[in-house]
Amino acid sequence: MIPEYTPDNKNRSGWIEVITGSMFSGKTEELIRRLRRARLANQKVEIFKPIMDSRYSSNEIVSHDSSSASSIPVTSSSEILSLVNEVSVIGIDEAQFFDSGIVNVCNILANSGIRVVIAGLDMDYQGKPFGPLPQLMATAEYVTKLQAVCMRCGNPSLYSFRKTKNNDLILLGEKEEYEPLCRVCYNNLIQTVNASI
């Protein structure tokens, strides 16, 4: 169980919560939900996201179901430390797009008594661990792995299949570019694609 409220005192304990899963699994929606609950508990919250993610808004985190919350876009993980000001809770979205320093930043924040809630993709479009997420999950007190619904069979999805032929590791996109798939459908589709090459 994830504790969602900690009294604001000098001896408060910080921690890291990672929300992860495939695209369309509700990561940002869950991040926004937790941060709204923190605000309901009169905790001061600040939210950060990588400046490169401007798909829906340049200064908000926005879920696929259009829930949103104001955020501060940053160019690097170290910038977060310089912008934090007397807060109880820090939210960070799209963690996979941050540099590897985000792990150290989250640990510094948690060690100083701040609750850090961070969301991001655990795997890239090739099904490989993505960016700093493996290290974040290893150092976090709480990890929540969400699943989307496979668009082919309806089973739980853990893969973000890229439908376009772009081989760049980072390609911002939505349903036109990506499709959530379960293990079986993903592997079947990969075999079909590889057979046609």
pLDDT in tens, 78-130: 999 999 989 999 999 999 999 999 999 999 999 999 999 999 999 998 899 99
pTM of the model: 0.86
pLDDT at 171 exceeding the cut of 60: no
15-146 domain in CATH 2.40.70.10? Answer: no
- 79 part of the active site: no
Please identify which of the residues 17, 46, 94, 179 carries the catalytic annotation.
94
Q: Average pLDDT over the chain, rounded to whole?
A: 87
pLDDT at 36 exceeding the cut of 60: yes
Long-range CB contact pairs, 172-181, < 8 A, 24+? 172/52, 172/53, 172/55, 174/55, 174/64, 175/24, 178/23, 178/24, 178/125, 179/151, 180/22, 180/23, 180/24, 180/25, 180/148, 180/149, 180/150, 180/151, 181/150, 181/151, 181/152, 181/157
Predicted confidence at residue 55, as pLDDT, reads 63
pLDDT at 19 exceeding the cut of 80: yes
Kindly tell me the burial class for residue 176, based on how many C-beta atoms sit within 10 Å of its own C-beta (0-12, 13-18, 19 or more): exposed
What are the DSSP E strand ranges found in the chain?
15-21, 45-50, 60-62, 68-70, 72-74, 89-92, 115-121, 142-146, 148-149, 156-157, 159-162, 178-181
